[in-house]
Amino acid sequence: MDNFTNNEELLNALKAGGEEAFSFIFIKYYSNLFSYAYRILNDNSDAQECVQKTFYHMWDIRHKLEIRDSIKSYLYRSVYNNCINIIRQKKVLSKYEEGGQTDLYFSRIIQSPQTEMRLIDSETRRVILQNVQSLPEKCKEIFIRCKINGQSQAEVASIMNISIKTVENQMTIALKKLKEKLKYFILF
């Protein structure tokens, strides 16, 4: 499906409601948009529904589709807006509203579409992902549980049925590897 070499041509085809044009952008962007929505919503089926709705909506409003920068950034913004609607319903946001911290959520915590687009093609992301993926299976699992899922080392030790010492050692290995590659990071 490389028949849309020209952006303008693609946009016109989208406005006309062409099935091929919609399939084309769906195939091109679906995986990345899904991953983005998943990391905001932290839920598989919500993320799927969110991205699905984005494309439905784009078709619904195709006649008045106004794209100023690019279809890609339109899609990311649209997924972002749908995510906000979902987290509102899911009561994630109400915990922030309670403490008057809604601004904090929107300005710091949620991954903005701009940041996501910058990150997705960045060298930093490539290096981090590559190094995390190349860790030995067990080490990777420990890293993900501790640093991504927010479990304590003690918790991870008991879930994985290993000693806390092992968890600590494995984490040291994982962090050392990242430290070498990401010297300017203060994290590790």
Partner 1 sequence: MQLKGEEATDILISRILKGIANTEEIAEFAIWIKDLDHERYFEQYKEVWHSAQEVHVSEGKKDQSLQSLIHYIRYNKRRQINRRRFVYVLSSAAVILSIFGLFRFYDNYSMWYDYSHVSFSELKHNTDSIKVVLSDGRVINPMRKSPYYAQEKEINMNSANQREISYVAQKTSRPQKTERLKYNSVSIPAGERFAIVLSDGTKVYLNSNSYIRYPVSFGKESRDVTLVGRAYFDVQKSDVPFIVTTSDMKVEVLGTSFDVESKKDATSSSVILVEGSVKVLADGQSKIISPNEMLSVNRFHKNMSVKNVDSKTMTLWKDGILVLKEQSIDSMLESLCSWYGVEIINNSTVSRREKFNGKFDRENIEAAMKTIALSAKVRYRIENGILIIEDIKE
Residues 156-175 that bind partner 1 (CB under 8 A): none
| 69-128 residues near partner 1, rule: CB under 8 A | 77, 80-81, 84-85, 87, 92, 95-96, 98-99, 101-104, 106, 108-109, 111, 113, 116, 119, 124-125, 128
For the segment 32-51, give every residue that binds partner 1 (CB under 8 A).
Answer: 34-35, 38-39, 41-42, 47-48, 51
CB of 164 to partner 1, least distance (A): 11
Q: Buried (b) or exposed (e) across 72-111, using 16+ Cβ within 10 A?
A: bebbbbbbbebbeebbeeeebbeebeeeeeeeebeeeebe
Cα–Cα dist 91/89, whole Å: 5
The answer to whether 180 contacts partner 1 (rule: CB under 8 A) is: no
Distance in angstroms (rounded) separating the CA atoms of residues 29 and 152: 35
# of chain residues touching partner 1 (CB under 8 A)? 66
User: Does residue 144 bind partner 1 (CB under 8 A)?
Assistant: yes
Backbone angles phi, psi at 42, to 5 degrees: 55, 40
Residue keyed to tokens 């109400």 = 94
Judged by beta carbon, residue 153 or residue 169, the one nearer partner 1 is 153
**66: phi then psi, degrees, rounded to nearest 5:** -120, 115
Which position among 16, 148, 165, 180 is part of the footprint of partner 1 (CB under 8 A)? 148
Q: Are 104 and 40 in contact (CB under 8 A)?
A: no
With DSSP H G I counted as helix, E B as strand and the rest as coil, what are the percentages for the chain, rounded to 5? 75, 0, 25
- The residues of the shown chain that bind partner 1, judged by CB under 8 A, are 17, 19, 22-23, 26-27, 30-31, 34-35, 38-39, 41-42, 47-48, 51-52, 55-57, 59-60, 68, 77, 80-81, 84-85, 87, 92, 95-96, 98-99, 101-104, 106, 108-109, 111, 113, 116, 119, 124-125, 128-129, 132-133, 143-144, 146-153, 178, 185-187
